Chains A and B, each alone.
Chain A
Amino acid sequence: MPLAPPVLAGLEQLLGPENVLTSAEDLIPYSFDGTAALRQMPGAVVFASTTPQVVAALKLANETHTAIVTRGSGTGLSGGSLPSPDCVVLCLVKMDQILELDRANLTLLVEAGATTQAVADAAAAAGLFYPPDPGSMKISTIGGNVAENSGGLRGLKYGVTRNYVMGLEVVLAHGEVLWTGNKCVKDVAGYSLRDLFIGSEGTLGVITKVLLKLIPKPPAKRTLLATFAQMDQAAQTVSDIIAAQVIPCTLEFLDRTTIHCVDDYAKIGLPRDCEALLLMESDGHPAVVQEEVAQMVALARQNHCQEVRVAQTDEEASRLASARRTAFSALARVAPTTILEDATVPRSELAHMVRFVAAVAQKHRLRVGTFGHMGDGNLHPTFLTDERNADEMHRVELAFQEIFDEAVRLGGTITGEHGIGVAKKKFLAQFAGDAQMRVLRELRRILDPRGILNPGKVCDPLTS
């Protein structure tokens, strides 16, 4: 059922007509997110600029049973901000103020639509550090990062978005504003609702402000590349580094296909005559950095690496990291549809998992490019296909099922950082088990009794 005219009129009155879009030309660009092969037209796209506007919009939606899909920059990789049919997309990119940098308490308060890059820059301008750096950081919003609990290239040592969220302002489905958390390092007053909203994928409330923890900038940093003739040698190196109790900032993996795609774009002279490459970074006290680097090099050599290259300057190091961030998009150079997975396994199982992915791809006659945050046990096998080829798309699905099953069998998870959204919805029940599913669904019903928030995503609400 298309949006009722009174709902649209109400939204226009609350947000101003320029912030309510309904023409086909305006809606088509919001009919997808970063996920491949998903498309759905919304009924309208609206922009809020203040928390009271979000409140007003949600009240109206709740009263009229109108579906609301909250959206940041639409870079999500599980279809989280994919519209549901005729929904209202509530886009928060115009709420992008940096509100307060508290140097005494090392916190940063921002609006949810601020980009991750703006957050990192604001921290850096004060000589501080905000570590989570998803590949999409130039454009992803902090609200989206919180809603997906996004990781990044530094997750190994510094953790993921969750580890930096101290407080949240959330607008609940019926329009009530909730603050959870504060500037205190410790706080056990009541259940941690903050943690409930982190990773909630727009299904439990609309995040409008985020209070973030910042940390001191590490004084030294070194970045190196190691190349390998076999993928499992690289994987084993990572397992060995962890087992040796070395926790560097970054251990990123790229396979041959990915290396070639990335270098075809970035042209920074990545080594091309290898099957796998590890991008390793150590930061902290200079003496520690030196020791960690020596240990990592030794372990890479022990696993027969071909070559180790050390970045000579800061610029070179950041060029390497930037290039790595483009990996997923760069893979699209060789195939129009890139369907990536996010399976994560205990880090002792990496070599096995890498071999398994290669075998599955071969069995189903699929092209795959694999990269990922290997230090986190998080791989992104990316199938290179064409959505118009139905047969191949079917084989991709079969391959994913096998990879998920194997990840779970090894004690891993079906998604490390991209979330469930719609793309992995059908796998969640199997993974989470009955008890978890029941609690998830009950929680959802309590917070959003009318089911207006991101319907169809993550799990279905309980029907009473």
Chain B
Amino acid sequence: MTDRAGLGYLKGLDYAVVQQCMHCGLCLPTCPTYDATHLERHSPRGRVALMRAIADDRLAPTKTFGEEMYFCLGCLACMTACPAGVNYAELFEHARAEVERVGQLATPKRSLIRWFTVKWLFLDLRRLLFFGRLLRLYQACGLQCLVRRSGVLRLLPKRLQELEALTPDIPPRFSAGLIAEVTPAVGPRRHRVAMLTGCAQDLIFSEVNRDTVEVLAHNGCEVYTPRPQHCCGSLHGHNGEIELARQLARTNLEQFPPDQFDAIITNAGGCGSHLKHFSHLLAADPAYRKRAEAWDQKCKDVHEWLAAIGLRPPRANGAPPVVVTYHESCHLSHGQKVVAQPRQLLRAIPNLNLVELAESNWCCGSAGIYNLIQPEMAQQLLERKLDHLAATGATVVATANPGCQLQLLNGAKQRGLNVRVAHPMTLLAEAYRRSA
């Protein structure tokens, strides 16, 4: 990705990528924003046409264009649908980078929030976890309840009140407190893998990381989980901060030399879809290119990895049957095309009855930080998801991305739906524990 000769990211992009869309429209019915509005501008075909217009100099990167690029969920459903092989992910990242480059959307408030999140908080995991601790303190000491009850929140602007309601419950301990640096395989060691603990996953769902490591260990993997870890840069890449994304990719390559592991494991769909493309990100970096290529080969989503090495199914243990459904994280299914494996792993749990969720690969509205910046559209998508969820009659919904997990948790709470939201690794880990 380059801003070649200062021309801009879209003009610098290989024209073959920009030109690839032959405007057949086959992606339209799978695009959530087109489905909601029926406007071509909000469709993949329309968005690609706008990007191409900019590359062709028929349109300037206007504010309206910028807004459009942030109305797109980045869910990549269009890539699954597109027979012509349009690389929407790449176009989209370049388009957002272009929007940031020209600064059409910049307002003091937006700049401050972006600086705080993308450029400060998520650039150094220690800051993020420190921030998490503060939040945890706020919650644990009863302050949150007190504040919520006191009505002080009503003094805040409506949007902030809504955001406060979305704050996740922060677990008492993060991954480093739950997972040893080296976890030995249960039984003979067949593989040596590294575990990426992620940002949001670590902050909000650190037990999912612990469960993932447990499951890996049960499947003959020795798991290396160094600390402190660093953000993978997906948040930055998806939000127009290509350079920061590169910087973080290099940091990760330093920490996890790919040749030392059989696999580098991620359990968060959103991260995986970014992590697997370091070679592309660093294509122009002679010092890291080779290592990035090796990394891309080794980097695996945990479901993909377990299915490939052959899961050791947990033993039946007389636990009562449970009806589970599966919501696909966009970046796991559309971004990484990992579709069958999570279902296959879930079915391996003895007491588990997997029922299909209608539109299981339709975005839930979480979409990274989309639910924070486009609350209306995000809420519509959440409602649609919850309707389908309720129709399954499942008591558990499995999903493999922290954003989705949080979104569904909040949704279920809003609606008073009595469903548990859990990562497939958590369900598997519980099954191993039960049969131990």
User: Interface residues, chain A, CB within 8 Å of chain B?
Assistant: 21, 23-26, 28-34, 36, 47, 73-75, 93-94, 115, 117, 136, 138-140, 261-262, 264-266, 326, 328-330, 332-333, 336-338, 386
Contact with A along B356-379 (1 / 0, CB 8 A): 000000000000000000000000
Q: Which residues of B contact A386 (CB under 8 A)?
A: 19
Interface centre among B28, B65, B68, B83 (most CB of A within 10 A): B83
The 10 closest A-B pairs by CB, nearest first: A29-B46, A29-B40, A332-B84, A326-B83, A329-B83, A330-B83, A332-B22, A336-B19, A329-B24, A25-B64
Q: Which residues of B contact A337 (CB under 8 A)?
A: 19, 22
Q: Which residues of A contact B26 (CB under 8 A)?
A: 136, 138-139, 326, 329
Decide yes or no: A329 and B82 within 8 Å by CB, A26-B39, A29-B43, A33-B23 being known contacts.
yes
Contact with A along B52-79 (1 / 0, CB 8 A): 0100001100101100100000000000
Smallest CB gap from B26: residue in A: A329
The answer to whether B83 touches A265 (Cβ under 8 A) is yes
Smallest CB gap from B19: residue in A: A336
The answer to whether A73 touches B25 (Cβ under 8 A) is yes
Given contacts A73-B25, A265-B83, 17 further A-B contacts (CB under 8 A): A25-B59, A25-B65, A26-B39, A28-B46, A28-B49, A29-B40, A29-B50, A75-B25, A93-B38, A115-B29, A139-B26, A262-B83, A264-B85, A332-B20, A332-B84, A336-B19, A336-B22
The count of residues in chain B whose C-beta lies closer than 8 Å to any C-beta of chain A is 31
Please count the residue pairs between chain A and chain B whose beta carbons lie under 8 angstroms apart in the complex. Answer: 95
Q: Can you offer 11 A-B residue contacts whose CB atoms are under 8 A?
A: A24-B59, A28-B49, A28-B50, A28-B53, A29-B45, A32-B23, A32-B49, A74-B25, A117-B29, A138-B26, A386-B19
Decide yes or no: A338 and B29 within 8 Å by CB, A24-B59, A29-B50 being known contacts.
no
Q: Which residues of B contact A73 (CB under 8 A)?
A: 25, 28
User: Interface residues, chain B, CB within 8 Å of chain A?
Assistant: 16, 19-20, 22-26, 28-29, 38-41, 43, 45-47, 49-50, 53, 58-59, 62, 64-65, 68, 82-85
Smallest CB gap from B54: residue in A: A28
- Distance A32 CA – B53 CA, assembled complex (angstroms): 12
Decide yes or no: A25 and B62 within 8 Å by CB, A326-B83, A329-B83, A330-B83 being known contacts.
yes
- Distance A26 CA – B50 CA, assembled complex (angstroms): 9
Q: Which residues of B contact A136 (CB under 8 A)?
A: 24-26
Q: Which residues of A contact B41 (CB under 8 A)?
A: 25-26, 29
**Of A25, A93, A330, the contact of B84 (CB 8 Å cutoff):** A330
- Distance A169 CA – B252 CA, assembled complex (angstroms): 63
The minimal Cβ–Cβ distance linking A439 to chain B, given in whole angstroms, is: 33
Interface centre among A117, A261, A329, A337 (most CB of B within 10 A): A329
The minimal Cβ–Cβ distance linking B28 to chain A, given in whole angstroms, is: 5
Interface centre among A94, A139, A264, A265 (most CB of B within 10 A): A139
The minimal Cβ–Cβ distance linking A390 to chain B, given in whole angstroms, is: 15
The minimal Cβ–Cβ distance linking B38 to chain A, given in whole angstroms, is: 5
Q: Which residues of A contact B84 (CB under 8 A)?
A: 329-330, 332-333
The answer to whether A75 touches B50 (Cβ under 8 A) is no
- Distance A138 CA – B23 CA, assembled complex (angstroms): 14
- Distance A231 CA – B49 CA, assembled complex (angstroms): 37
- Distance A47 CA – B41 CA, assembled complex (angstroms): 14
Q: Which residues of B contact A26 (CB under 8 A)?
A: 39, 41
The minimal Cβ–Cβ distance linking B84 to chain A, given in whole angstroms, is: 4
The minimal Cβ–Cβ distance linking A106 to chain B, given in whole angstroms, is: 27
The answer to whether A138 touches B29 (Cβ under 8 A) is yes
Decide yes or no: A336 and B16 within 8 Å by CB, A28-B58, A29-B46, A326-B26 being known contacts.
yes
The answer to whether B38 touches A94 (Cβ under 8 A) is yes
Q: Which residues of A contact B23 (CB under 8 A)?
A: 32-34, 74
- Distance A136 CA – B28 CA, assembled complex (angstroms): 11
- Distance A73 CA – B39 CA, assembled complex (angstroms): 10
Smallest CB gap from A138: residue in B: B29
The answer to whether A139 touches B65 (Cβ under 8 A) is no
Smallest CB gap from A94: residue in B: B38
